[in-house]
Amino acid sequence: MTSPAHRSPVPELARGQEDCSRRSLGRPDDDEVPVLEARDVHVHFHGTDSHGRAVTIRALDGVDLALYPGQISALVGESGSGKTTIARLFALIYRPTSGELLYDGTPIRVRGGRAERAYYRNVQLIYQDPFASLNGLKKIRTIISRVVKIHFPRLGRAGIRARAAELLERANMTPTSRYLDRYPTDLSGGQRQRVAIARALAVNPKVLLADEPTSMLDASIRLDVLNLLSDLRESEKVAVLYITHDIASARYLSDRINVMYGGKIIEAGSTESIISAPVHPYTKLLLSAAPDPARYKGSGKPTHEPIADSRPVDNTSDIRGCRFADRCPVAMPKCTSEDLPLFRSIRDSHTVHCWQAEDDADYERASSDRSRTPTNSAKKE
């Protein structure tokens, strides 16, 4: 791992062999059990439309996702695709309408009390907005110490103070004496997000759910937070779910990328596989929107076909086939007339829900057993 002083200031798509070698870290063994997993999960909300009619919002519609120790999995997609819903599902803020959540291979059956506290000791959520997630009336020492006191009540005052200082140091906020007695309002956005990460680390979690942790930060300090998450992946061996709109930062940070659209994971695979050989037209459109000077060198022309002038997917409709079809530049009649199968790569764990893979010799139609698809296993090549 390179030091922060030698990292490129812009996490572009065109990054070299340094990232490829870095992604050999955190590779799960063949028999390794995911630390956190969702199997065929559906989340539906009941509400009303603009005319007052009852509707069902299909926020998640058959999602398979697995997180492994020492691995960063990115969840990429536009607003409303269901990314934050997955994070809140793993954080037990939402309950699945159907499907199954597993922790260390065991179905999660948490309903408050000690079991819930034990779960949160292992799974922590980092919120998007560092300006709202910290109490501005409390000192940094109090914010972090309270978490330690709740989960480790046997620690004395001296132990709690030492633990608070240690956590700030792990979040690269040194010297710690400069920050412990300050208020969140005295800190910059990047410093606040580091405090939020330090607070999440207070319980030694196995999983960090990072819900767009850099979207509220200036571009100049986003890289510091990304590098901190990467360092934690290597030093603490935590599993990280990195939620973002920015596929360029996902390429820089993650070991695996899952592309979401309309409540479904439509394409998933290792980061290098998704970046170098995307199959789904929506994934290609996301990549075309990311900064990559090499792609435009000499011509200045985009490499993708323009999308149809259509509104985003309506999650209140029970759509057969591909939800992206009405915006897809290469849509076929069967995209909306037939059920959409899962195709898997014969070379690696790349999977995609798109008929474009049917004529690709590198892909085969997956079996109907959803629970054992490569999308769910999420192992690195």
Per-residue pLDDT of the chain (381 residues; tens, 9 = 90+): 344 333 333 344 444 334 443 444 334 555 689 999 999 999 999 998 888 899 999 999 999 999 999 999 999 999 889 999 999 999 999 999 999 999 999 999 887 778 888 899 999 999 988 888 999 999 999 999 999 998 888 888 999 999 999 999 999 899 999 999 999 999 998 899 999 999 999 999 999 999 999 888 887 788 888 999 999 899 889 999 999 999 999 999 999 999 999 999 999 999 999 999 999 999 999 998 877 666 555 555 555 556 655 567 788 888 888 999 888 888 899 998 999 999 999 989 999 999 999 989 899 998 765 444 444 444 444
pLDDT given for residue 295 in this prediction: 56
DSSP 234-295: HHT--EEEEEES-HHHHHHH-SEEEEEETTEEEEEEEHHHHHHS--SHHHHHHHHTS--HHH
Cα gap 327→308, rounded to integer Å: 5
pLDDT given for residue 13 in this prediction: 42
Question: Could you tell me whether strands 351-352 and 343-345 are parallel, antiparallel, or unpaired per DSSP bridges?
Answer: antiparallel
pLDDT given for residue 294 in this prediction: 60
pLDDT given for residue 309 in this prediction: 53
Q: How many CB atoms lie within 10 A of CB 20?
A: 11
> What's the pTM?
0.84
For the sheet with 207-211, list strands across it.
123-126, 207-211, 239-244, 72-76, 256-261, 264-270, 351-352, 343-345, 363-365
